[in-house]
Amino acid sequence: MKLSQLGIGKKGVVKEFTDLEMSVKLMEMGCLPGEEIQVQRIAPLGDPIAITVAGYQLSLRKREASTIVLL
């Protein structure tokens, strides 16, 4: 399952990334493999989404979230 498919309040653990270039950016922001992610909010049109990872809140475009594969 990809992060972009998760609903509000749902949690997942980062397994891997599908885009190498985007994975570097996401890992610099704390989205490391093994980290738990929880979806906090989704904008009315579905983009962007707000997540909590490593104790802080982060906003991602749906396209960016779709590159994160969860366990």
- Ordered by start, the domain boundaries in the chain are 3-70
> What is the structure's pLDDT at 33?
95
pLDDT (tens digit, 9 = 90+) per residue, 5-38?
999 999 999 999 999 999 999 999 989 999 999 9
Predicted local distance difference test score (pLDDT) of residue 38: 97
Can you give the pLDDT at residue 4? 94
HSE of 54, CA atoms in CB hemisphere, 13 A: 12
* Mean pLDDT computed over every residue of the chain: 94
Q: Write the CB contacts of 41 (distance below 8 Å, at least 6 apart in sequence).
A: 8, 49, 50
Q: Assign domain 3-70 to its CATH architecture.
A: Roll (2.30)
Nearest-angstrom CA–CA distance, 38 and 10: 6
pLDDT at position 21: 93
**Of 46, 45, 36, which is closest to residue 5 (Cα–Cα)?**
46
Distances (CA, A) of 61 to 14, 42, 47, 50: 17, 10, 6, 9
Predicted TM-score (pTM) of the model is: 0.89
